[in-house]
């Protein structure tokens, strides 16, 4: 079983999808000859040709609009947005068209487009290359929202998305592209969409997180262990559909919850998690639900690591819920 970074695992998933299904096509800015800004699609155009790995103009609304047309005619397009920060010109195509086709056709038409985009901070990209807009898409009925945190999950979730018939927003934590390496199975395998992963088991508190915040949560849980606190870290993996059963089971067992994400706090996805817990597990709580998040400001450049949640901020939240 080869070891891969997340970039290599996503490349392998795309290559596997292109080989296994002639309907799969990849399109986006510089994805062909140059292999993408992060080299995720490197070598794919040389192997599969320009008809299946297409370089597009710098027009995100055209990329997504074209992908929608391809899907309606029977293809399975994987559209790359170079940075998720550039996705907004295509927002109307995604939320008003892509997400609605199955509903507006009463199930007669599916529109299986995967929109891949690197998201989040951690690489000194500044305010135009570091945003985390997952809550916008989680709020849109008809879209699945997937965010892996490990190379193996990145491959398995992407292949699962390719096997499905619904549109998927596939957000890739670029901070983890080359910082984590692990064994990744060769060939086709699917990581089920809608299932959490227990990144660390625990009994005294639960940290709910996803994407680049999973290693941060694990680091904080390891620090907490030195103080005798057993902290469970749940990697959500998919925000929509959410594995609410696993979330509630963990919360009811530990009675204390910290929610962690790098997106801004107000109306972030953590607010939905807090509401779910308040509605269905309130009597199990031994302390208030706490959120550790980014701030309600544009993403900074020089103060990037002040903005991003770190293990110290998570540990401080754990201290609060454990001493409440």
Are the C-beta atoms of residues 248 and 276 closer than 8 Å to each other? yes
Q: Do 3-183 and 197-323 show the same overall fold?
A: yes
In a 13 Å sphere around the CA of 224, the CA atoms on its Cβ side amount to 33
Residue 27's closest CA among 314, 158, 18?
Answer: 18
Handedness of CA 125, 9, 262, 145 (dihedral sign): positive
Backbone angles phi, psi at 240, to 5 degrees: -140, 115
Helices (H) and strands (E) in the chain, counts: 12, 14
* Burial class of residue 156 (count of CB atoms within 10 Å of its CB; 0-12, 13-18, 19+): buried
Handedness of CA 293, 134, 31, 2 (dihedral sign): positive
Q: CA 39, CA 57: separation in Å to the nearest integer? A: 18
173-203 residues labelled b (16+ CB within 10 A) or e (exposed)? bbbbbeebeeebeeeeeebebbebbebbebe
Residue 81 vs residues 63, 86, 113, 146: alpha-carbon distances, Å: 8, 7, 13, 15
Q: CA 141, CA 114: separation in Å to the nearest integer? A: 16
Q: Return the active site residues.
A: 129
- For domain 3-183, give its CATH number from 3.40.50.300, 3.40.50.970, 1.10.357.10, 3.20.20.70: 3.40.50.970
User: Tokens at residue 278, please?
Assistant: 């308040």
Phi-psi region of 170 (alpha: psi -120 to 50; beta: other; left: phi over 0): beta
Specify the pairing of strand 76-80 against strand 114-119.
parallel
Q: Which fold has domain 197-323?
A: Rossmann fold (3.40.50)
Mind listing the pLDDT tens digit of every residue in the chain (324 residues)?
899 999 999 999 999 999 999 999 999 999 999 999 999 999 999 999 999 999 999 999 999 999 999 999 999 999 999 999 999 999 999 999 999 999 999 988 899 999 999 999 999 999 999 999 999 999 999 999 999 999 999 999 999 999 999 999 999 999 999 999 999 999 999 999 999 999 999 999 999 999 999 999 999 999 999 999 999 999 999 999 999 999 999 999 999 999 999 999 999 999 999 999 999 999 999 999 999 999 999 999 989 999 999 999 999 999 999 999
Residue 285's closest CA among 262, 253, 256?
Answer: 256
Q: Where are the domains of the chain?
A: 3-183, 197-323
């Amino acid at each position: 079983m080869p070891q891969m970074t997340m970039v290599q695992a996503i490349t392998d998933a795309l290559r596997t999808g292109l080989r296994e299904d002639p309907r799969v096509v990849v399109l986006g800015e510089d994805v062909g000859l140059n292999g993408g800004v992060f080299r995720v699609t490197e070598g794919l155009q040389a192997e599969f040709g320009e008809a299946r790995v297409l370089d597009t103009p710098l027009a995100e609304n055209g990329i997504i609009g074209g992908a929608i047309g391809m899907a309606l005619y029977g293809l399975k397009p994987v559209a790359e947005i170079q940075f998720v920060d550039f996705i907004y010109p295509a927002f109307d195509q995604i939320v008003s068209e892509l997400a609605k086709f199955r509903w507006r056709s009463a199930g007669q038409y599916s529109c299986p487009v995967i929109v891949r985009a690197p998201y989040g901070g951690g690489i000194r990209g500044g305010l135009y290359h570091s945003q985390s807009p997952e809550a916008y898409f989680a709020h849109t009925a008809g879209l699945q929202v997937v965010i892996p945190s490990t190379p193996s999950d990145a491959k398995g979730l992407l292949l699962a998305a390719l096997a499905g018939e619904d549109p998927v927003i596939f957000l890739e934590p670029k901070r983890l592209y080359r910082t984590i390496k692990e064994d990744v199975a060769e060939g086709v395998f699917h990581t089920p969409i809608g299932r959490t992963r227990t990144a660390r088991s625990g009994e005294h508190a639960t940290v709910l997180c996803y994407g680049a915040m999973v290693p941060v949560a694990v680091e904080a849980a390891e620090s907490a262990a030195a103080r005798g606190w057993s902290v469970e870290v749940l990697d959500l993996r998919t925000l929509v559909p959410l594995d609410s059963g696993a979330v509630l089971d963990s919360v009811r067992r530990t009675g204390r919850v910290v929610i962690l994400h790098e997106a801004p706090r107000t109306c972030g996805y953590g607010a939905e998690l807090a509401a779910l817990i308040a509605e269905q597990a309130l009597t199990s709580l031994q302390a208030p639900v706490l959120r550790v998040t980014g701030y309600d400001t544009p993403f900074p450049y020089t103060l990037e690591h002040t903005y991003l949640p770190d293990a110290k901020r998570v540990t401080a939240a754990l201290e609060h819920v454990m001493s409440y």
